[in-house]
Structure 1
Amino acid sequence: MGDGLVLVDKPAGITSHDVVARVRRFAGTKKVGHAGTLDPMATGLLLLGVNRATRLLTYLVGADKTYRATIRLGQSTVTDDAEGEVTASPGVGDVDEAGLSSAVGDLTGRIEQVPSSVSAIKVDGRRSYARVRAGEEVALAARPVTIHSFAVLASRREEVEGTPVLDLDVEVRCSSGTYIRALARDLGTALGSAGHLTALRRTHVGSFAVEEAAGLEELADGVSLLGMSDVARRVLPARELTDAETIELRFGRGVAASRSEGVVAAFAPDGHVVALLTDKGAQARPTLVLDPA
């Protein structure tokens, strides 16, 4: 098996680590990593690096993400999603379009978000979800996230065990680290009720779309890799090298500065990625050589 990125359409009901374990088996290598997990309930795009491509994952983790989700207003759960037990059922009254639009608008842009207490965030060295399951009260600090867009696509009134609820189908594009279930919780609170997530699907990570991904059944028949050069071009600014510069970088030596902020992917004249570069004064130095001499 070579080096590259695997785009997986994760099914519901299994963990992201289960997906990693299966791809390791399918690909015949233990060197498989992910660029951000999905909850077991969630479906959609997982990006997995295989072999040397695991070294590119750090440049994918912080990419913006897009989700399709269903938010249920009128009930809260311990996990802020459908996997947890219902903790309150205040129901939802009349929610007019103007009120909903205002509440959604207040949760758009740069906001301070308190993550769900049942999350993987560590509190004094232990995962928050482990503390909650042990019966502890956990209060996580708010953190800044950016909601680039928050669109309500459809709404449906339902009755769940005698409680009137309002289900909203939404699409959210947000910064890395955003909790969509916390967004559902906060929308319910903003509308004077409660809220939680009943469905979640990740459709994009940066420039990668779920339409490009394969299901686990397809991967069992053969793992298809997006090559290192293709990944680097889609993730980082590109610099085209001369033959002489290519030789220098293959030996770990510097070349003339790229005059770009941050990391740049450097490509040989034949189009394959040679190294990742960072400017240091008048030179661009390799932070990672992908095609050594």
Structure 2
Amino acid sequence: MSPASGILLVDKPGGITSHDVVARTRRAFGTRKIGHAGTLDPMATGLLVLGIEGATRLLTYLVGLDKTYETTIRLGAATTTDDAEGETVSTAAAGALDSVTDSRIADGVARLTGRISQVPSTFSAIKVDGRRAYDLARAGEDVELKAREVTISRFAVGESRRTALADGTEVIDLDATIDCSSGTYIRALGRDLGADLGVGGHLTMLRRTRIGPFELADAHTLEALADGAPALLDPAEVASRVLGRLDVTAGEARDLRHGKKLAGQAGRLEGDLAAAVDPEGVLVGVVERRGEALKSAMNMPEVTA
């Protein structure tokens, strides 16, 4: 029997890579056909969305979903990686944090909210001439990444704590909740807030709590994976939640699977795409408008008995 096909939500712990999570999931499900819809840094924890078997075809429609993060930004020191795993490259001068008032922090946060231009962290997975930026940076090469437009729809600062570290460095730790578009680097937000305030900044904690309609509260732990393959989210349910649902007849499902257009049916779509679901509740694929017709943009593998 072939392994089950579906979407798995995993709560990634800190200290391991997203690839490590995929490797453990492959062992749990007995298949190598597993992909993910966006990685997390080793320091980061929280929600990973994995596709198993045929459901990997859905991942392309999930990677662009907006996300929510819980984070702690430390003001008063900058690091090579813009997080706590990097080496400290600068610390705020004595007394510099005295001028970092709640009002100045609020102003800095406001400048980083909305549609902004952001330069990703040098230690990121972005490819430069075919090589990962973090590999180039670790090799001591200069890495220049281009700015990108991202949207920060919420940057809500919670508790703040002023403290002195063991070496005497004064810092301010800010807890924040951030809603953002896909492709946003939260590490860069911490770095840029610290730079804007003139004291440097980096992250000491990062946890992803939401990807589109999927919540961390529904994710499985790695311990649960070790106990056996947990139940998966049904591809039809997932695609319908993300794209909207279009119920099709058995005949229409057959035509779509064979690459035929559904002539004159474009008006049945509310958006540009939808999940086509057959009378048995099985996801046929994703359909799109082609003039006045509907056509498959992606077909799922047919399930055989």
Give your verdict on TM over 0.5. yes
Aligned to 2:288: 278
Q: Would you say how many aligned residue pairs link Structure 1 and Structure 2?
A: 293
**SS of alignment partner, residue 64 of structure 2:** coil
Aligned to 2:217: 211
CA distance in 1, matches of 2:274, 2:11: 29
Deviation of 1:292 after TM superposition, in Å, equals 4.0
Aligned to 2:107: 102
Deviation of 1:279 after TM superposition, in Å, equals 1.0
Equivalent position to 2:178, from 149, 164, 172: 172
Q: Which runs of 5+ in 2 are unaligned?
A: none
Aligned to 2:129: 124
Aligned to 1:230: 237
**Structure 1 pair 200/221, CA: closer, same or farther in 2 (3 Å)?**
same
2:201 aligned with 1:199, yes or no? no
Q: Which runs of 5+ in 1 are unaligned?
A: none
CA distance in 2, matches of 1:76, 1:182: 11
**SS of alignment partner, residue 14 of structure 1:** coil
Which range moves more in the overlay, 215-224 or 244-253? 244-253
Deviations 1:226-285 (A, max 9, x none): 111111112212112234323332433221223444321111234332221111112101
Deviations 1:4-61 (A, max 9, x none): 0110000000000000011001100000000000000000000010000000000000
AA at the equivalent of 1:178: T
AA at the equivalent of 2:176: V
Question: Is the Cα contact below 8 Å between 1:263 and 1:276 reproduced in 2?
Answer: yes
Q: Percent identity?
A: 55
Residues 26-37 of structure 1: pairs in structure 2 closer than 5 A:
26-37=28-39
**SS of alignment partner, residue 177 of structure 1:** coil
Question: Is the Cα contact below 8 Å between 1:64 and 1:205 reproduced in 2?
Answer: yes
CA distance in 1, matches of 2:59, 2:6: 10
2:151 aligned with 1:146, yes or no? yes
Question: Is the Cα contact below 8 Å between 2:246 and 2:269 reproduced in 1?
Answer: no
Residues 1-293 of structure 1: pairs in structure 2 closer than 5 A:
1-90=3-92, 92-160=97-165, 161-224=167-230, 225-255=232-262, 256-257=265-266, 258-290=268-300, 292=302
Question: Is the Cα contact below 8 Å between 2:244 and 2:275 reproduced in 1?
Answer: yes
Question: Is the Cα contact below 8 Å between 2:124 and 2:134 reproduced in 1?
Answer: yes
CA distance in 2, matches of 1:130, 1:272: 42
AA at the equivalent of 1:249: L
**CA RMSD, aligned part only?**
1.5
CA distance in 2, matches of 1:36, 1:285: 28
Which range moves more in the overlay, 110-119 or 240-249? 240-249
